[in-house]
Amino acid sequence: MQIKGFNIKYIYNENSIDRSTALNGVSFTFNQGDFICIVGKTGSGKSTLVQTLNALLLPSEGYVNIDEFFITGNKKLKKELLKKKDKKQKKDNKNYSNLRKKVGLVFQFPEYQLFSNSVINDVMFGPLNFGFSKEEAKTMAIKALSDVGLNENYYEKSPFLLSGGEKRRVAIAGILASNPEVIVLDEPTAGLDNKGKVEIMKVLTTLNNLGKTLIVITHDMSVVQNYAKTVIVMSEGKIVHKTIPDKLFDEVDLEEYSLEVPLFIKFKKLLKNNGFEGNLEKISSYQDLIDEIIRIKGSKLNG
C-alpha cells in the first residue's frame, strides 16, 4: 500500500486574521514497509502533515491518496477525484472510518489519547468502535498490549497513573489493536529517558519488521540514525529533503534546520578530517568503528 501526497496545502483559520499556512505544497510517496522519520524545526508543519494522512485534517488544496481513499477538504477537487469511482469507494470517502483502520495515529501527547478507567478498556476502545464484539476486542487488546511489552499486571491499572513511557505504550497499543497497516507517531520518544526511548523504538522496529509502515516525527537525530530507512526534512511547510539517513548526515547542513548532528557522526567526521585512513562509510556502530581503528592501527603496526 502506497501513501501519496499531491501538492498539499493546509491553512489554519483560513477565513480569519489568524490565518496561517502550515503546509505549502507538499508532495510525497511512501511505500509499504518503509520506516520514515520526519524531522524539522518547530513549526515547520510536521504534525499538520501527519494529521492529513488519516484525515484528521483535510488539506485545503491538493490531496492524499491511500488505496481507495482520497483525502482533501477541497470539495470540487474531491468530486473530480471520485467522479468515476464506484458506490463503495464514494461511501468509504464520506467519513473515513475505514481509512482510520488502515492508518493509525499516535499523537504528540499520547496522554491526551488515553481516557478509560483501565488500560484494557482503553485499548479495547478502537476495536469496539470499529464494530468488533467485546470478546474479539479483548483478544485484540491483549495481543496489542503484549506487542508493546505490557502484561496482565497492567490490564486493570488506570492509564493515568502510569509512567510517561508506559502511557506511550498504552497509546501505541490502542492504535495497534485495530491492526493498522500504517502507524504514524508524533514524537514517540519525547520526554523519555534513554531506556524508555530504546524500548519504544524496539517495539516500533519489530512492527516494521512485521511489514507495517512506520512514519515517525522526531527531534532526536539518534532515532533517525539508528532506526529510519528514509528521512524527510521539513522547513516552512515544505519537504526540503527526502533521503536515507547516511546521506542526510553527509550531504545536508543540519544546522540550517536546527537539527543536531549525532555524536557518532561528528566523531566519524572528525576522524576523517584528521586523516584517518580507514573505511568509515559503511560503519554504523561504535563496535564496528573500534574494529576498523584496530584494523588500521594493527596493519600499521604490522607494516
- The residues of the shown chain that bind Mg ion, judged by CB under 5 A, are 47
HEC string of the chain equals: CCEEEEEEEEEECCCCCCCEEEEEEEEEEECCCCEEEEEECCCCCHHHHHHHHCCCCCCCEEEEEECCEEECCCHHHHHHHHCCCCHHHHHHHHHCHHHHHHEEEECCCHHHHCCCCCHHHHHHHHHHHCCCCHHHHHHHHHHHHHHCCCCHHHCCCCHHHCCHHHHHHHHHHHHHCCCCCEEEEECCCCCCCHHHHHHHHHHHHHHHHCCCEEEEECCCHHHHHHHCCEEEEEECCEEEEEECHHHHHHHCCHHHHCCCCCHHHHHHHHHHHCCCCCCCCCCCCHHHHHHHHHHHHHHHHHC
Q: Which is nearer to ligand ATP, 77 or 190 (CB)?
A: 190
CB closer to ligand ATP, 12 vs 96: 12
Q: How far is the CB of 186 from Mg ion (least distance, A)?
A: 6
- Residue 279 contacts which entry, ligand ATP, Mg ion, none (Cβ below 5-8 A, type-dependent): none
By CB atoms closer than 10 A (0-12, 13-18, 19+), residue 161 is exposed
The single-letter code of the amino acid at 247 is K
Q: Binding partner of residue 48 among ligand ATP, Mg ion, none, CB under 5 to 8 Å per kind?
A: ligand ATP
Nearer to Mg ion, 43 or 196 (CB): 43
Query: Of the candidates 40, 32, 51, which has an alpha carbon nearest to the alpha carbon of residue 232?
Result: 40
| Whole-number Å distance between alpha carbons of 68 and 41 | 33
Using CB positions, name the residue nearest to Mg ion. Answer: 47
Residue 158 or 258: the one with the smaller Cβ distance to ligand ATP is: 258
278 binding partner (options ligand ATP, Mg ion, none; Cβ < 5 to 8 Å by kind)? none
- Closest distance between ligand ATP and the C-beta of residue 239, in Å? 12
Residue 182 is placed in which grid cell? 500504517
Q: Quick one: 40 or 127, whose CB is closer to ligand ATP?
A: 40
C-alpha cell at 6: 499531491
Least distance between Mg ion and beta carbon 251 (Å): 25
Q: Minimum distance between the CB of residue 161 and Mg ion, rounded to whole angstroms?
A: 26
Q: Which does 43 bind (CB under 5 to 8 A by kind): ligand ATP, Mg ion, none?
A: ligand ATP
The C-alpha cell that represents 224 in the structure block: 533517525
Binding site for ligand ATP (CB under 6 A): 12-13, 20, 22, 40, 42-48
Q: Of the two residues 59 and 127, which places its CB atom closer to ligand ATP in the complex?
A: 59
* Cβ at position 22, least distance to ligand ATP in Å: 3
**Residue 47 or 243: which CB sits closer to Mg ion?**
47
Q: How far apart are CB 40 and ligand ATP at their closest, in Å? A: 6
Q: Which is nearer to ligand ATP, 93 or 113 (CB)?
A: 113
User: Minimal distance in Å, beta carbon 288 to ligand ATP?
Assistant: 32
Closest contact distance (angstroms) between CB of 42 and Mg ion is 7
